A and B are shown apart, each in its own frame.
Chain A
Amino acid sequence: DAKTTQPNSMESNEEEPVHLPCNHSTISGTDYIHWYRQLPSQGPEYVIHGLTSNVNNRMASLAIAEDRKSSTLILHRATLRDAAVYYCILRDVGGSNYKLTFGKGTLLTVNP
């Protein structure tokens, strides 16, 4: 599976935008970019995914670089409830799609 690299931790202030980066320089043309988050004492939660184009949903936006070697998860207005570990995951159309391979993720701290 192609690998992703994320910063270990990031900090933001409440009600400010947060940009969480992910590098995936070995991404293949058929890899989907998924983001999950894990709030304290909870199971992972799907956030968003995309293939080539930028994506928006009610939780966040996903900006994908033109060469697809990196992507950014954007939380438009961070709240205290957004404090979590954020995981960037690649899922290959041709690979084992039954498994999600979680790395260490980025621990996001949101200051009031």
Chain B
Amino acid sequence: EAQVTQNPRYLITVTGKKLTVTCSQNMNHEYMSWYRQDPGLGLRQIYYSMNVEVTDKGDVPEGYKVSRKEKRNFPLILESPSPNQTSLYFCASSPSDRASTEAFFGQGTRLTVV
């Protein structure tokens, strides 16, 4: 089954403790993105990747890092999480950058930083 898999689904952590949220897709897609969703602010893009070893900042990249060492994986790294990074995170992938292309989203990771 074609899917985007995120882990973990739920995470509670403390301020400053490094964490990684993993994202994996099995569709051989080139394009992958991370979004965060906050009440009243909608979904905002954090980082995106056009292919292996090619990443760029989205709208809200501060406090986050990403890497794309393999085509299927696109982990989101929070080196020193802070409470304002408490949010619902989604990973997405798509086969191309054409405007007619659909995106596939993971189930989400609910992160709480205390």
Contact = CB atoms under 8 A, between A and B. Distances in A.
A42 B45 CA distance: 17
A14 B8 CA distance: 34
Closest 5 CB pairs of A and B: A43-B105, A46-B102, A91-B99, A102-B43, A97-B97
How big is the B interface, by class?
20 to 34
B100 A100 contact: no
A31 B99 CA distance: 8
Interface of B: 4, 31, 33, 42-43, 45, 48, 50, 56, 58-59, 90, 92, 97-108
Contact of B106 (A41, A43, A95): A43
Contacts, number: 58
Nearest to B9: A41
B48 A32 contact: no
Contacts of A104: 42
A24 interface: no
A45 B104 CA distance: 7
Contacts of A95: 99
A82 B52 CA distance: 36
Contacts of B98: 93, 97
Interface string A83-103: 000000001110101111011
